Amino acid sequence: MKPEDKIKEILKRLKRLYPEPKTALNFSTPFELLVATILSAQTTDNHVNKVTEALFKKYRSIKDYAETTLSTLQKDISSINFYKNKAKYIKEAARMIIDKFNGEVPRTMDELMTLPGVARKTANIILSNAFGINEGIAVDTHVKRLSRRLGLTENEDPQKIEKDLMEITPREEWSNLSHLLIFHGRKVCQAKRPNHKECILYDICPSRNI
């Protein structure tokens, strides 16, 4: 099967299984998504959602994050790992958005990546989920593992994996692909115990016997 056909088949099957491919992080504004995404590094989305439920009620605007003291923000997110650095990133990002981007979360990859705590993966998540812009494919640990197991890439480096996936995936599906691989990685193709026998991709997966 050609890689382009294989990816279409993977998308078709996974969409049947997970009909709503979108981020599991709760947010109602682009800045809230930025906050949630920064908090989600090395933390589960469920835990982030629990913390942001109270956080988003307390901090209603970007200005609130910029003007609070660092120690207050750190205290408000202290159950999240690396909370000290994450609070710093969020506060500095809020200040920078107010000073340099007229108080609006920027909508380009280059601008987003100037914000503290924002690398390419985070920028991809914000562009696609907050603005509906498919600029790239967010490659996290699940996307990396499944892409390799499914034979879609041989690379280890997330940026190279992203490039490989972008070459074979229709642009309008870039965001969907990332979410679908994450869902499938969490539910079926887990790192330690991939459940090959229950997998909807079994017959087209070169790793089904690992």
How far, in Å, CA of 31 to CA of 94, rounded? 8
Q: Does 150 bind ligand SF4 (CB under 6 A)?
A: yes
User: Which of 13, 47 has the CB closer to ligand SF4?
Assistant: 13
Q: Does 196 bind ligand SF4 (CB under 6 A)?
A: yes
Nearest-5° angle of CA 68, CA 75, CA 97? 35
Residues numbered 10 to 29 that lie near ligand SF4 (CB under 6 A) are: none
Q: Which stretch binds ligand SF4 (CB under 6 A): 28-36, 62-70, 156-164, 201-209?
A: 201-209
Q: Does 90 bind ligand SF4 (CB under 6 A)?
A: no
CA proximity to 138, closest of 118, 114, 116: 118
Rounded to the nearest 10°, the torsion over CA 154, 177, 15, 48 is 110
Q: Does 61 bind ligand SF4 (CB under 6 A)?
A: no
Closest distance of CB 206 from ligand SF4, Å: 8
CA proximity to 40, closest of 90, 75, 107: 90
Closest distance of CB 97 from ligand SF4, Å: 39
Q: Does 181 bind ligand SF4 (CB under 6 A)?
A: no
Binding-residue pattern over the window 109 to 148 for ligand SF4, x denoting contact by CB under 6 A? ----------------------------------------
Count of CB atoms within 10 A of residue 21's CB?
Answer: 18
How far, in Å, CA of 186 to CA of 74, rounded? 29
Among 47, 50, 95, 208, binds ligand SF4 (CB under 6 A): 208
Closest distance of CB 145 from ligand SF4, Å: 8
Nearest-5° angle of CA 125, CA 128, CA 130? 90
Per-residue three-class SS string for 24-55: CCCCCCHHHHHHHHHHCCCCCHHHHHHHHHHH
Among 21, 30, 117, 194, binds ligand SF4 (CB under 6 A): 194
Element (H, E) at 7: helix 3-17
- Give the SS3 label for residue 94: helix
The set of catalytic residues is: 121, 140
Residues that bind ligand SF4 (CB under 6 A): 149-150, 188-189, 194-196, 199, 201-202, 205, 207-208
